[in-house]
A and B are shown apart, each in its own frame.
Chain A
């Protein structure tokens, strides 16, 4: 039952609500067949709005178009778009048991009882909720509800699967486990998937591509690696993972900082620049042999690593994640080393 997805294209879809709220500037998005795209962005940036436009629950402003494969579905009502949707609240039908919830889409499509049973059973097994078929949905745990909602959405073999923050309602440990399960399931089903989240770790883990959104616009589209290592601007750099954003003068080959210099590899410029350095790219070395030195401000032991705040190296306090074995004390004078390739110069705008 894999590979029944279609490619998805969103062309110039903006959304201005009746009350004048401009939730989405006209955006364009292409998602390949079977691909998982994650919409990532802070609260209120228009993720749900874009998802609902794709689903057919909202109509885009005039000029916007949504294409499933080669079919323009902009004017097609949701009940005939063949999308599967998982809502943040799961929206399970309280008057039906688990099996009836999962089988509802098949029943509406007039699938016979026998086939319905086999297909529901297959999804029950796939999502690991055997034994709960006769349960009422209000007697399920959060994780079980999430699975039922997913099973209900995919049993009809949708062209596109849409998930709106499906894990947000769960506690951290469960979220991590289900994230792994969900990832395996999406690969196995091979459905074209749009996944909305504001959790960047979730986006990294699940997305073939990440669509970073901000104030109703798309800030960057790229693979998790591209978005992480080569953010398009300051916003993306800060939103996806932790980042040191250092304003410094660049003389073509090195960054000149209060505590010394750092060599830059690619894209070096002459003049003021904003350099992005991920905390884990900074290594602590003996001060004598380093081109850049600073003072240890604080050390937090995080178990697998320690997070060190370093002052006096740059204009702002820098954050470094270093191996947990290195002995450091507040006030230590340390040298900082960064691979030139790990320094990324960003355009100054889009703060």
Chain B
């Protein structure tokens, strides 16, 4: 392979400026098609539909002015934030442990943890009902212990559990991969300088994991903002934004509002992710 015909190389070298530019243009073509077909055209249309209802452009204002919509938006953002923070906490601690310790049954445990990756949101909702629904395990236990049935499944708490269940495996895998890539000599250097376990985690490990935490946290957040299957199964008492969009769209045939809400959901998610990225980038830069 290495000793390819030298003349071919020389010819390629002579033509390379032309060929390279053309090559890059050809490579960009699929991207351009995808951007146009799946992004620019539908999004423009969505934004336009959002403003095409009875209230015109005011449909967008309704997202924040109409109490029902505003409350739903706030609930959704708070739920997604809570899910993200809890997921990151749990996944970081468990990911560090799973990657660092070798114990019998570890491989099985990791495999088990990643099993929910395959489940659609509906199945996860179903699992939460089995756990904390009216006939659920939690209810039976609390009934036996306190004489009262605790039912979480259909509230914000149930959704929170479902979203956690959904996002933890994804984030754990990312964190485990990042932990594996940590340079052990950095920790050893810190230890020779007198740092204990706590200081090493604070000063060395967490800063090194920050990019992975930001990236996987962003995905967990976006997923929680847009999750529908779980919400559809569980959200009888609450209105998260994707559910609201669904009801506006199918039951009320209020297509303009549904579109406006969709655009709002996208913008809010995008804005919060951008903030996280800027803030995360800044902390890394400020430390470095």
Q: Which residues of A contact B (CB under 8 A)?
A: 55, 57, 77-85, 87, 89, 91-97, 104-105, 108-109, 136, 138, 152-153, 156, 162
Q: Are B195 and A87 in contact (CB under 8 A)?
A: no
- Given A93-B203, A96-B287, A136-B288, answer yes or no on A87-B194 (Cβ-Cβ < 8 Å): no
- Given A78-B191, A97-B288, answer yes or no on A89-B207 (Cβ-Cβ < 8 Å): no
Q: Which residue of B lies closest to A81 (CB)?
A: B192
Number of chain B interface residues as a range: 20 to 34
* Inter-chain pairs besides A95-B207, A108-B190, 7 sampled, C-beta below 8 Å: A55-B192, A79-B191, A87-B189, A91-B185, A92-B189, A105-B194, A108-B195
Q: Are B199 and A108 in contact (CB under 8 A)?
A: yes
Interface centre among B191, B203, B204 (most CB of A within 10 A): B191
CA A94 to CA B186, docked complex, whole Å = 9
Instruction: Give the distance to chain A from B205, nearest Cβ to Cβ, in Å.
Output: 10
CA A153 to CA B192, docked complex, whole Å = 8
Set of chain B residues within 8 Å of A136, measured between Cβ atoms? 288
- Given A85-B189, A91-B188, A95-B208, answer yes or no on A79-B195 (Cβ-Cβ < 8 Å): yes
CA A138 to CA B183, docked complex, whole Å = 15
Answer whether residue B196 sits at the interface, using C-beta atoms and an 8 A cutoff. Answer: yes
Partner of B186, one of A78, A79, A93: A93
The proximity string for B residues 172-191 relative to A, scoring 1 for CB distances below 8 Å and 0 otherwise, is: 00000000000101101111
Q: Are A108 and B188 in contact (CB under 8 A)?
A: no
Q: Which residues of B contact A (CB under 8 A)?
A: 183, 185-186, 188-196, 199, 203-204, 207-208, 210, 284, 287-288
CA A91 to CA B185, docked complex, whole Å = 6
How many contacts A-B (CB < 8 Å)? 74
Q: Are B188 and A57 in contact (CB under 8 A)?
A: yes
CA A264 to CA B87, docked complex, whole Å = 79
CA A239 to CA B183, docked complex, whole Å = 32
Instruction: Give the distance to chain B from A4, nearest Cβ to Cβ, in Å.
Output: 15
Set of chain A residues within 8 Å of B195, measured between Cβ atoms? 79, 104, 108
Set of chain A residues within 8 Å of B190, measured between Cβ atoms? 93, 104, 108
Q: Are A95 and B284 in contact (CB under 8 A)?
A: yes
Q: Are B203 and A87 in contact (CB under 8 A)?
A: no
20 A-B pairs in the complex with CB atoms less than 8 angstroms apart: A78-B191, A79-B193, A81-B192, A83-B192, A84-B192, A85-B188, A93-B186, A93-B203, A94-B208, A95-B210, A95-B284, A104-B190, A104-B193, A105-B194, A108-B194, A108-B195, A109-B194, A152-B189, A153-B192, A156-B193
Partner of B192, one of A79, A95, A97, A138: A79
Set of chain B residues within 8 Å of A152, measured between Cβ atoms? 189, 193
Interface centre among A93, A152, A162 (most CB of B within 10 A): A93
Partner of B288, one of A96, A108, A156, A162: A96
Set of chain B residues within 8 Å of A81, measured between Cβ atoms? 192
